[in-house]
Amino acid sequence: MSTSTVMDSKVKDSLDHIRAAAQDLHGAMTDAASKRGDAIKTDLEAVSQKAKAVATSVKGSLGSQSEATKKHLGDALTHLEAAQKHAAEGLTSNGKALEASVKQVLTDARASVQKVSEAVAAKRTAKSNQNSK
Instruction: Judge whether 127 and 22 are in contact, CB under 8 Å.
Output: no
Mean pLDDT computed over 101-126: 91
What is the domain range of residue 14? Answer: 3-131
* Per-residue model confidence (pLDDT) at position 14: 81
Range with the poorest average pLDDT among 1-15, 33-47, 49-63, 110-124: 1-15
Question: Which CATH number covers residue 16?
Answer: 1.20.120.660
Q: What is the pLDDT of residues 26-78, one digit of tens each?
A: 887 777 777 766 678 888 888 888 889 999 999 988 888 889 899 999 999 99
Is 50 exposed, middle or buried, given 0-12, 13-18 or 19+ CB atoms closer than 10 A?
buried
pLDDT at residue 4, as a whole number = 41
In this prediction, residue 72 carries a pLDDT of 94
Our count of domains for the chain comes to 1
Answer yes or no: pTM beyond 0.85: no
Helix ranges (H only) for 1-133 are 3-33, 37-61, 67-91, 95-131
Q: Where are the beta strands (DSSP E) in 3-77?
A: none
C-alpha 6, offset from chain centre: 25
Task: Compute CA distances 105 → 63, 71, 79, 91, whole Å.
Answer: 27, 21, 9, 12
